Amino acid sequence: MGQGDLQLRDRLPVLRQSGKVNVILNLQDVNEIDSTGLGTLVFALAKLRQAGGRLALLNVDRKHLKLFVLTRLALAFEFFADEQDAVNGFFPDRELKPFDVLDFVRHEHDPKQESVIPPEAAC
């Protein structure tokens, strides 16, 4: 994330003012997340939660998942490999399959295991 983090930070107030407080960020085309980008995501999460909303992260790259795990931010964010599951996450009566970060961590430390990230989520 680079210039995009400024766009995200600028768009959040507009979204909140229009009543849109549940946001899905598709990170499929994100090649890099630096400390500024990570800070922007934390800022976005906090602001949306303050407004009664949520932030779902979609299609997070494997190396970025490692960053979220290392910084312990994986506990704060919701991860999804499928857009419909991310949408369903905003509706308590719908069935959803969130990405299991704990399963990712378990398998990441076991070299015998194949990737646990569904092919559609791996970039």
Query: Does 53 score more than 60 pLDDT?
Result: yes
What pTM, to 2 d.p., does this model score? 0.73
Task: Map tokens 């194949």 to a residue.
Answer: 114
Give the span between the Cα atoms of 28 and 72, in whole angstroms: 21
Task: Enumerate domains of the chain plus CATH numbers.
Answer: 3-108 (3.30.750.24)
Q: CB under 8 Å to 122, separation ≥6 — which residues?
A: 61, 62, 115
Contact 57, 78 (CB under 8 A): yes
Tell me the per-residue pLDDT of 66-81, one tens digit each, with 9 for 90 and over. Answer: 899 889 999 899 999 8
pLDDT of amino acid 35: 87
Give the span between the Cα atoms of 120 and 105, in whole angstroms: 19
Q: CB under 8 Å to 15, separation ≥6 — which residues?
A: 21, 23
Tokens of 47: 């602001």
Pick the more confident residue, 61 or 119. 61
Quote the strand ranges of 1-105, DSSP E.
Answer: 22-26, 54-58, 78-80
